A = this chain, B = another copy of it.
Amino acid sequence: MAYHLLQRDRPGAEQLARALTEALTRVRHCAMCNNYTEDEICALCRSPRRDRSLLCVVETPADLGMVEQTAAYSGMYFVLMGRLSPLDGVGPRDIGLEKLLARATAGEVAEVVLATNFTNEGEATAHYVAEMLRGRSVRVSRIARGVPLGGELEYVDAGTLSQALLDRRGM
């Protein structure tokens, strides 16, 4: 891309440079949910139509986008902008867990929904947050693990099926 811009599209390069500089100046983290925004508080956090008693914790802005796409959730969010990963030197302070703790225990939130990934790091992060909130007056829940929609038992891995059996629910 660098060669293309330098050789064939110098005005484009200038435009890109300006756009990047502008983004660096204007885009920052929302004071409430930590997502990217150009305002102090992002549009989603300002919306009067969201349920303020629910706080969904996700790893990245892309994950927030996925949850929004389901249209099954109308609460608030907190974006960690990462996940606990000791091997990469990412600890609790690097993913804003103090800010999350303050937000979750401020009184408005009744339930924290942990929607981190089901990878090792995502699971570790979920357990860390659950431990952090233990004993506080806030419910902590985790999105369900199990067989995906349209899934056939024959093609599901043993770990997922085992979890689906353990987490079975009454009908």
- A164–B169 Cα gap in the complex (Å)? 13
Point out which of A67, A139, A141, A150 has the most chain B C-beta atoms below 10 A from its C-beta: A150
Q: Which residues of B contact A69 (CB under 8 A)?
A: 158, 161
Q: How far is the CB of A166 from chain B (nearest CB, A)?
A: 6
- A139–B118 Cα gap in the complex (Å)? 29
A153 interface hit (Cβ, 8 Å):
yes
Q: A66-B158, A70-B165, A147-B144 are in contact. Are A153 and B117 (CB under 8 A)?
A: yes
Other-chain residue from B73, B118, B126, B167 in contact with A165 (beta carbon distance below 8 A)? B73
Point out which of A122, A141, A146, A166 has the most chain B C-beta atoms below 10 A from its C-beta: A146
Are A66 and B153 closer than 8 Å at their CB atoms?
yes
A114 interface hit (Cβ, 8 Å):
yes
A159 interface hit (Cβ, 8 Å):
yes
Q: Which residues of B contact A151 (CB under 8 A)?
A: 117-119, 148
- A70–B59 Cα gap in the complex (Å)? 29
